[in-house]
Amino acid sequence: FGGIKKSVINRTGFDSDTERRFAIALEDDSNVLKWVRPPLGQTPISYRGGDYNPDFIVETLAHRFLIEVKAQGELKTDEVKGKAKAAAEWCRVATENQAGKPWSYLLIPEDSVSETNTLAFMEGQASRG
- pLDDT tens by residue, the chain, 129 residues: 667 888 877 667 787 889 999 999 999 999 999 999 988 777 779 888 788 899 999 999 999 999 999 988 999 899 999 999 999 999 999 999 988 899 999 999 999 999 999 999 998 888 765
State the DSSP H helix or E strand holding residue 123, giving kind and residue range, or none if neither. Answer: helix 119-125
SS3 at position 19: helix
CA dist 67 and 70 (Å) reads 10
* Identity of the residue numbered 12: T
Q: How confident is the model at residue 41, as a pLDDT?
A: 75
Q: How confident is the model at residue 63, as a pLDDT?
A: 96
Q: How confident is the model at residue 21, as a pLDDT?
A: 93
CA dist 23 and 4 (Å) reads 9
CA dist 23 and 35 (Å) reads 8
Q: How confident is the model at residue 129, as a pLDDT?
A: 57
